[in-house]
């Protein structure tokens, strides 16, 4: 959740947690917990939300009669995904190390002969290519 005023964070969290059962909220992450868990500081970075809501497993929030899309969540099922790469010129190899989905875009650029450093995020975060490339 991005708030108009970060100073409202504690009050909004209190309101959410007062209705946690009805809203199917497992926990909220804000303030120092956001920073400690590696999400960043919402008071200094406008790309960091003021509050992250971890819903109860299986909860989906949407209006209308049908869900059209979902952004994922913080559960292992949402955050741990298999990654398969196929190309006739690649040798069959299995890597069991943990990787990040943010490594996919620069790896594709490299495979296409383009410079992964043309992505500002790759430069800013020092993102590495997927193993094997």
Please provide the DSSP assignment of 40-51 as one string.
--TTT-TTS-SE
CA-to-CA distance for 121 and 47, rounded, in angstroms?
Answer: 13
At 132 the pLDDT is 78
* Side-chain-side CA neighbours of residue 51 (13 Å): 22
pLDDT one digit per residue (tens) for the chain, 133 residues: 999 999 999 999 999 999 999 999 999 999 999 999 988 999 999 999 999 998 888 777 777 776 655 566 666 666 666 777 777 777 788 888 888 888 889 988 998 899 999 999 899 999 999 887 7
Q: Residue 49 contacts by C-beta under 8 Å, 6 or more apart in sequence? A: 1, 2, 34, 39, 42
The domain segmentation of the chain, as residue ranges, is 6-56+74-78, 81-125
Q: What is the pTM of this model?
A: 0.56
């Amino acid at each position: 959740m991005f708030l108009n005023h970060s100073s409202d964070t504690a009050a909004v969290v209190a309101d959410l947690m007062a209705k946690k059962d009805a809203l199917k909220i497992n926990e909220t992450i804000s303030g120092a917990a956001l920073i400690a868990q590696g999400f960043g500081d919402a008071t200094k970075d406008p790309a960091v939300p003021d509050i992250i809501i971890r819903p109860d497993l299986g909860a989906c929030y949407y209006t209308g009669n049908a869900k059209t899309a979902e952004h994922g969540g913080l559960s292992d099922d949402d955050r741990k995904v298999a990654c398969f790469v196929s190309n006739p010129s690649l040798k069959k190899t299995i890597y069991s190390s943990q990787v990040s989905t943010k490594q996919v875009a620069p790896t594709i650029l490299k495979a296409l002969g383009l410079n992964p450093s043309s992505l500002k995020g790759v430069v800013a975060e020092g993102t590495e290519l997927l193993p094997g490339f």
